[in-house]
Amino acid sequence: MLTVFIAKGGRIDLLPLKKALARARFDDLADTGRRGAMPEPLLKGFVAAAVNQSLDRMQTRKQERQTELRPLLEKEESRLKNWLARRRDRINNQLANLSPTSQQAIRARQSLEEAEKYVQDRSLNWRLAHFEAADQPTTRLILAIEGVR
């Protein structure tokens, strides 16, 4: 999990949560129960900047992941397309030697229809499960530390 760390001067870093907490010296902080002196609009600006930075990072990661997976997706889609073409040829060869109304011909056509549905379903579900990320990434604000040194 990456954390958006906004330092003095507005510099923004993406850090692992543990490192961000160490950098803020979180273990040395005490909850005094008092509200910080930072004006509300400035605090809201920091939160908005952190959320935007987090969303940008997730979009970048989504694009990196899609680039990484694209060859695997294309390979899987090609494999399915070739499998279906071979199956279709075999079934069409069987059908050429059968009466169109025979039970064997009916079963062969059903088998072809099932194979086509399988490939369509497999292509869609493989793409959704392994390639497509959510259209809108979500982010969570876990912690905002305001402090003075």
CA dist 120 and 72 (Å) reads 17
pLDDT band at 134 (very low <50, low <70, confident <90, very high): low
pLDDT band at 129 (very low <50, low <70, confident <90, very high): confident
Distance CA 70, CA 73 (A): 5
Residue with the bigger pLDDT between 61 and 107: it is 107
User: Residue 140 — very low, low, confident or very high, per pLDDT cuts 50/70/90?
Assistant: low
Sequence spans of domains, the chain: 2-26+37-130
Question: Rounded CA gap, 48 and 41, in Å?
Answer: 10
Phi-psi region of 17 (alpha: psi -120 to 50; beta: other; left: phi over 0): alpha
Confidence of residue 137 (pLDDT cuts 50, 70, 90): low
| Residue-wise pLDDT tens digits, 77-97 | 999 999 999 999 999 999 999
Residue 136's pLDDT is what? 65
- pLDDT exceeds cutoff 70 at 142: no
